[in-house]
């Protein structure tokens, strides 16, 4: 049995990682979260309904803009793994309030790295910095960025995540901490906030509302992504805990690229309902948003890890959402 510290463990992706660790390992898990608009204890409450997990999860409140205090350091104790998922991640808000994201994603990362350097170096097996495809900027058609390609951040959010990456690289080089970095594309799944694209599509299709879909300037075609289920992301993190090499970067990529209109049509097909939509030129009216992101998943594939097929994952999440409409902001 080991001990894993998950920052942002009450967040959307973080709670899936916590659930994966509790359900498939014997590790003790400590969740460190400031419980703002992203962190939601209701997520952890739902997964904790399985009573056998209850004695292996500890939840601590802390805002990483400040260094960990003596109480938190004592409560965490010695850990084997640190999975740093806590971050500000709302692009629009980063454009309006860029310094909030510098403090959350650069200063916050510096504080948890320094905690690892000072208090955990002797026993730490792995520190994972959870980054994003957006650090590479928009991907031209046919281009799939590999792990060590150059950065080209389009907004303060992605720039702050790139800054956190560089701190992680520096701490690995300078202090020889066992650090790895992951880049992940658009993640969907159970208990996602209903403002996000896939739960928003499910909500709008169920209610008969219109979906406005991010498109090019001529509104001829919609933006595209490699969507991936949060449960696959959690599985990839666990895979890397057992198969990583310090100082490496890893892309966690969905099984296929799909444009947002085709995705909405697929959701409507699963629900057996009509799709009411309009293509809108968000790219011009919303600076800092990009039409296409794309990563290469070949490195993880060569290591032996593959994601679930998109339609299979999507169908599972859609059907779960029908039974859990409160997470869509709808009455049950």
CATH code (residue 38): 3.40.50.720
Residue 32 in any domain: the answer is yes
Residue 301 in any domain: the answer is no
Strands (E), the chain: 3-7, 28-33, 57-61, 81-84, 126-132, 179-184, 187-188, 211-214, 224-225, 228-229, 249-252, 258-259, 277-280
Asked if 143 and 280 sit in the same domain, the reply is: no
Residue 37, pLDDT score? 77
Domain limits for position 11: 3-187+226-252
DSSP single-letter state for residue 327? G
Asked if 27 and 46 sit in the same domain, the reply is: yes
Asked if 274 and 243 sit in the same domain, the reply is: no
Catalytic residues: 133-134, 157
Q: Are 230 and 193 in contact (CB under 8 A)?
A: no
The neighbour count for residue 246, using CB atoms within 10 Å, is 13
For 28-37, write each residue's pLDDT tens digit. 999 999 998 7
Asked if 180 and 242 sit in the same domain, the reply is: yes
Average pLDDT of the residues in 315-330: 95
CA dist., res. 18 & res. 12, Å (int): 10
Asked if 104 and 204 sit in the same domain, the reply is: no
Residue matched to tokens 């692009």: 91
Asked if 313 and 245 sit in the same domain, the reply is: no
Q: Which residue has the higher pLDDT, 10 or 1?
A: 10
Residue 153 in any domain: the answer is yes
Residue 302 in any domain: the answer is no
The closest of 180, 21, 4 to 76, measured between CA atoms, is 4
CA dist., res. 179 & res. 173, Å (int): 9
Q: Are 182 and 248 in contact (CB under 8 A)?
A: no
Pairing of strands 81-84, 126-132: parallel
Q: Is the dihedral of CA 170, 238, 88, 150 positive or negative?
A: positive
Q: Look up the CATH number of the domain holding residue 275.
A: 3.90.25.10
Confidence of residue 157 (pLDDT cuts 50, 70, 90): very high
Residue 115 in any domain: the answer is yes
Question: What pTM value is reported for the model?
Answer: 0.95
Asked if 160 and 219 sit in the same domain, the reply is: no
For 182-221, write each residue's pLDDT tens digit. 999 999 999 999 999 999 999 999 999 999 998 888 888 8
Burial class (CB in 10 A: 0-12, 13-18, 19+), 280: middle
């Amino acid at each position: 049995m080991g001990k894993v510290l998950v920052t942002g463990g009450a967040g959307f992706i973080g709670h899936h990682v916590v659930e994966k660790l509790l359900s498939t390992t014997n590790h003790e898990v400590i969740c460190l979260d400031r419980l703002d608009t992203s962190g939601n204890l209701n997520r952890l409450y739902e997964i904790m309904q399985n009573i056998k997990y209850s004695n292996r999860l500890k939840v601590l409140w802390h805002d990483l803009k400040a260094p960990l205090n003596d109480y938190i350091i004592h409560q965490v104790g010695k850990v084997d793994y640190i999975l740093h998922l806590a971050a500000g991640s709302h692009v629009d808000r980063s454009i309006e309030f860029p310094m909030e994201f510098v403090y959350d994603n650069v200063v916050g990362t510096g504080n948890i790295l320094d905690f690892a350097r000072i208090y955990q170096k002797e026993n730490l097996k792995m520190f994972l910095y959870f980054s994003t495809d957006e650090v590479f900027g928009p991907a031209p058609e046919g281009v799939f960025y590999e792990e060590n390609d150059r950065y080209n951040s389009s907004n303060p959010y992605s720039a702050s995540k790139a800054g956190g990456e560089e701190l992680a690289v520096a701490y690995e080089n300078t202090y020889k901490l066992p650090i790895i970095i992951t880049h992940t594309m658009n993640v969907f799944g159970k208990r996602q906030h209903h403002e996000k694209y896939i739960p928003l599509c499910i909500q709008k299709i169920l209610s008969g509302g219109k979906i406005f879909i991010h498109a090019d300037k001529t509104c001829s075609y919609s933006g595209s992504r490699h969507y991936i289920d949060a449960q696959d992301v959690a599985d990839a993190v666990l895979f890397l805990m057992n198969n990583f090499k310090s100082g490496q970067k890893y892309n966690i990529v969905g099984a296929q690229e799909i444009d947002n209109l085709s995705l909405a049509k697929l959701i409507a097909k699963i629900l057996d309902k009509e799709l009411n939509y309009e293509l809108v030129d968000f790219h011009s009216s919303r600076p800092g948003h990009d039409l296409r992101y794309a990563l290469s998943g070949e490195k993880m594939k060569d290591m032996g890890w593959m994601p679930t097929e998109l339609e299979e994952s999507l169908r599972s999440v859609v059907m779960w959402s029908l039974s859990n409409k409160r997470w869509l902001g709808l009455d049950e």
